[in-house]
A and B are shown apart, each in its own frame.
Chain A
């Protein structure tokens, strides 16, 4: 149980285009989902917290107009990187917290984004 599916696992896009990454909780409902970014040999940095049906809360320094987050249902959150640039190339990982569980989250397998 508690499986989080993230797609795509990797994507290459041209500079200036937008890319959408999906995060799905397959066997549970998640009121809260989190999006992280990881640069090579660095730890995961929280980008934003999304709650179903409301606006995402972004961490300091994260541009909300560039990283659009939508959490339209209890099983799906999406992250759209708009007008991507090479410096946006990174590993993006989502996690989802089951309903009623305040203190454990489950992680997707990550998306490697390369902007050329």
Chain B
């Protein structure tokens, strides 16, 4: 059974800091890995999707890497801003029906 872990559960940083959010998964036989952002009481916003054959994806200040063999992914946020404050969820597509398994998320707070 696929399990996705995100540690720590919460993170607080000052504005302008570069930061790395970690994600690990137990079954390396994945199709894709996707990072989402969720604001309080809202749905999910897709940030980056990394296919299993890729090593990384970039969008603006965000960079996501994937090391499938070790079961790890990182989301790098450059020059963090207060508007980046949200919960960041990592999810992997694996198994029958390409089922999506989510981590519990990392709640990020960027202090002005």
Contacts and interface: CB of A to CB of B under 8 A. Distances in A.
* A, B co-complexed: yes
Interface of A: 6, 32, 34, 42-46, 49, 57, 91, 93, 95, 97, 102-110, 112
Ordered nearest first, which 8 A-B pairs have the shortest CB separation?
A109-B43, A110-B43, A103-B31, A43-B104, A107-B44, A43-B102, A103-B32, A44-B102
A93 B38 CA distance: 12
A106 B99 CA distance: 13
A104 B103 contact: no
Contact of B41 (A42, A49, A112): A112
A102 B104 CA distance: 24
30 contacts: A6-B43, A32-B97, A43-B89, A43-B104, A44-B102, A45-B102, A46-B99, A46-B100, A46-B101, A49-B97, A49-B99, A57-B97, A91-B41, A93-B43, A93-B44, A102-B98, A103-B31, A103-B32, A103-B51, A103-B93, A103-B98, A104-B49, A106-B46, A107-B36, A107-B44, A107-B46, A108-B43, A109-B43, A110-B42, A112-B41
Nearest to A45: B102
A97 B99 CA distance: 11
Contacts, number: 48
Contacts of A97: 98
B2 to A, nearest CB: 11
Given A34-B100, A93-B44, 9 more contacts: A42-B104, A44-B102, A45-B102, A46-B100, A57-B97, A102-B31, A104-B34, A108-B43, A110-B42
B105 A95 contact: no
A33 B89 CA distance: 20
A97 B31 CA distance: 14
Contact of B100 (A6, A91, A105, A112): A105
Contacts of B100: 34, 46, 95, 105
